[in-house]
Amino acid sequence: MMNISIPPIRREIVEQARTYIDELTKPPGSLGRLEEVAAELAGMTGELLPRVAPPGVLVFAADHGVTEEGVSAYPAEVTAQMVHNFANGGAAINVFSRQIGALLRVVDVGVAAPIADGRIIAKKVRPGTNNFAKTEAMTPAEAEQALRIGCEQAGSIIAQGARTLIVGEMGIGNTTAASALLATLTDEPLERIVGKGSGIDEERLQHKRDVIRRALTLHRPDPAKPLEWLAKIGGLEIAAMAGAMLAAAERRIPILLDGFICTVAALVARQFAPSVVDYMIAGHRSQEPGHSIALGLLGKEPLLDLHMRLGEGSGAAVAFPLLVSAAAMVNEMATFASAGVSTTGVKGEKE
Ligand SMILES: Cc1cc2ncn([C@H]3O[C@H](COP(=O)(O)O)[C@@H](O)[C@H]3O)c2cc1C
Ligand SMILES: O=C(O)c1cccnc1
């Protein structure tokens, strides 16, 4: 098994940051959630004055055998087609990555079709998973290999200078895998967990739930055995995403979460090392209904709710400028003392 060692959050730095933030030239608490985010970033990085840029964006791509059950609005070929689109810079995550000055890498961990493009990192564990409605998606060894690839890619983008990690995905059918994983972590019924993903109609949605129900009955997956759990009903990109998050937390690098699939990958990471959650900030709330359930399990309140439902890391990338604002506030604002601003309000009216 993997050897994961995550340092604890620096609680004393969180406290120091809170005290310092109250000394900045503003009524205490008036920058709201940004103040909390700044203190959290300080505790994660161990720096009273944290820096979050540049962000590193890792997009992991893989295919899902379960697509043969007709669970997505799009054919499985779209995964490979979108990988080429990523290489050419034309996808949403390319646009938002450029906007935020991110280091962006796209990694093939299991696309079914051959990808021969020097701009895509070639780490194919296998060409897509098996249909988990019929058999195990992959072997535990393959799940572990994908996890390790995620770890390595995060380690390398961080070594390249990334100070925040955003993890995205591309994989037609992956809302089915993510929903199946989530269903084993909660008592919520499939009616509340499983959504329309890329946009299926009501009839196909019923079918998607049936497929997941069948798979859960077949495999009886146990999240307490995370590699087997991932192997039975997971996905290669989901495993790689979880691995990347674990590696970021090991290096005190804040993780900015994207939507449904990313948040389920965060829950997967937690099954390997619970304290990884301390290094996560939820970027946004996706429209996929299971996302709110997954966020609830993680205990995270998202920064944004823009009615997005894309994945790729897009929601996290759009939320990233809020981390920049939080860090800039502590790095650049004057204190009452340095600016010569009076801290004493009218008696009884301060705060
Ligand atoms: C063109 C296109 C671009 C995407 N980018 C992300 N996804 C998102 O949709 C897929 C999951 O939805 P489902 O489980 O319904 O297949 C994933 O690839 C996810 O990243 C896309 C989907 C499409 C069609
Ligand atoms: O929230 C997500 O990550 C998501 C939702 C729908 C389709 N693909 C991804």
Selection from 176, 172, 181 nearest residue 209 by Cα: 176
pLDDT at 347: 59
Tens of pLDDT, residue by residue over 166-196, are 999 999 999 999 999 999 999 999 999 999 9
- Residue 306: helix, strand or coil by DSSP? coil
Which tokens sit at 237? 């990109």
How big is the chain, counted in residues? 351
C-alpha to C-alpha distance for 167 and 256, rounded to whole angstroms: 8
pLDDT at 202: 98
Cis peptide before 54 (omega within 30 of 0): yes
β partners of residue 280:
255
pLDDT at 255: 99
C-alpha to C-alpha distance for 41 and 327, rounded to whole angstroms: 8
Residue of 83, 106, 170 best suited for mutating to test ligand 1, as the one with most atoms within 8 Å of CB: 170
Which tokens sit at 139? 């072997």
- The residues lining ligand 1, judged by C-beta closer than 6 Å to any ligand atom, are 72-74, 78, 82, 169-176, 197-198, 310-312
Tens of pLDDT, residue by residue over 21-75, are 999 999 999 999 999 999 999 999 999 999 999 999 999 999 999 999 999 999 9
C-alpha to C-alpha distance for 122 and 111, rounded to whole angstroms: 10
First-to-last CA distance in the chain? 51
Query: Is the distance from CB of 251 to CB of 158 less than 8 angstroms?
Result: yes
CATH code given to domain 55-324 = 3.40.50.10210
Q: DSSP class of residue 7? A: P
Query: Is the distance from CB of 168 to CB of 57 less than 8 angstroms?
Result: yes
pLDDT at 343: 87
Indicate whether residue 259 lines ligand 2 (CB < 6 A). Answer: yes
pLDDT at 344: 77
pLDDT at 1: 63
Q: How far is the CA of 170 from the centre of ligand 2 (A)?
A: 9
* Domain ranges for the chain: 55-324
For residue 334, the one-letter residue type is A
Which tokens sit at 267? 């829950």
pLDDT at 67: 98
**Positions in the chain short of pLDDT 70:** 1, 345-351
Selection from 338, 341, 291 nearest residue 316 by Cα: 291
Complex ipTM? 0.99
Helices marked H in 184-306 — which ranges? 190-193, 202-219, 226-233, 236-250, 260-272, 289-298
- Residue 109: helix, strand or coil by DSSP? strand
Catalytic residue among 312, 332, 349, 351: 312
Residue of 261, 306, 307, 318 best suited for mutating to test ligand 2, as the one with most atoms within 8 Å of CB: 261
C-alpha to C-alpha distance for 67 and 282, rounded to whole angstroms: 28
C-alpha to C-alpha distance for 164 and 323, rounded to whole angstroms: 9
Other beta carbons less than 10 A from residue 191's beta carbon = 10
pLDDT at 346: 67
Q: Which residue has the tokens 């060409």?
A: 127
Q: How far is the CA of 289 from the centre of ligand 2 (A)?
A: 10
Q: DSSP class of residue 91? A: S
Q: How far is the CA of 287 from the centre of ligand 2 (A)?
A: 8
Q: Is 47 a catalytic residue?
A: no
Q: In sequence order, which residues have a C-beta less than 8 Å from that of residue 181 and are 6 or more positions away? A: 221, 223, 229, 230, 233, 234, 238, 264, 267, 268
Element (H, E) at 129: none
